[in-house]
Amino acid sequence: AQTVTQSQPEMSVQEAETVTLSCTYDTSESDYYLFWYKQPPSRQMILVIRQEAYKQQNATENRFSVNFQKAAKSFSLKISDSQLGDAAMYFCASDNNAGNMLTFGGGTRLMVKP
Amino acid sequence: DSGVTQTPKHLITATGQRVTLRCSPRSGDLSVYWYQQSLDQGLQFLIQYYNGEERAKGNILERFSAQQFPDLHSELNLSSLELGDSALYFCASSATTGVNSPLHFGNGTRLTVT
């Protein structure tokens, strides 16, 4: 079974600054995928970024990047140049390559201060 | 807009009742997933259908059932409802079953059991 842990229930960042959200996971699989999803007040789940475990290079999507530490089973999300629209719940998730049956962490609420 | 449509948006019902949640997947997507987001359990995978057939089960209660119809829309049936079933129920769809086929989430149905 997979587990995903987000140790920060809430984070705050000043607009235009950088913030890092933490995530650790546990899996016995050798091949798996990791994701960060954003859930704004509209409550829709939006994929922010994904990482294949077999790829050593950290994924990047515009202002969003990850720090994937496979040995430590750590998968943190860095948001650069934070914007007011980044305020949301962020969920870390894993998939053991079984096909979109995601295991989610408990979420981190990100607040962005103007 | 993800292209995934869920109805109704909100549902309020009493304990012991039965409700049906409906999901229309994104055009062309064959796979449908149901997820539950509750305060107690967080976000968890319930069940997956692919082209009308059940593919995988997660933490779905026996009181819950689902199906996918020939036109690919899906329904999640919740019966003998309890207060603890109050949650946000998400439907998601993907083109195929593989993890390389990104998930697209609907806006969810908010179920309140009183």
pLDDT tens-digit readout, B82-99: 999 999 999 999 998 777
CB contact under 8 A, B48 and A100: yes
Amino acid (one-letter) located at B54: E
> Which of B58, B101, B105 is nearest residue A101 as measured by Cβ atoms?
B58
CB contact under 8 A, A100 and B99: yes
CB contact under 8 A, B42 and A97: no
**CB-based contact, A107 to chain B, within 8 Å:** yes
Contacts of B37 (CB under 8 A, 6+ apart): B43, B44, B87, B88, B89, B90, B108
Contact B43, B58 (CB under 8 A): no
CA B1, B4, B8: angle at the middle one, nearest 5? 105
Whether the per-residue pLDDT at B13 is higher than 90: the answer is yes
Nearest CA in chain B to A94: B99
**Stretch A14-42: mean pLDDT:** 94
CB contact under 8 A, A100 and B42: no
**Residue B113 distance to chain A (closest CA, Å):** 19
CB contact under 8 A, B108 and A102: no
In chain B, what residues touch A105 (CB-CB under 8 Å)? 42
Whether the per-residue pLDDT at B81 is higher than 70: the answer is yes
In chain B, what residues touch A102 (CB-CB under 8 Å)? 35, 43, 45, 103
Reported as a pLDDT band with limits 50, 70 and 90, residue A97 is: low
Return mean pLDDT, chain B: 94
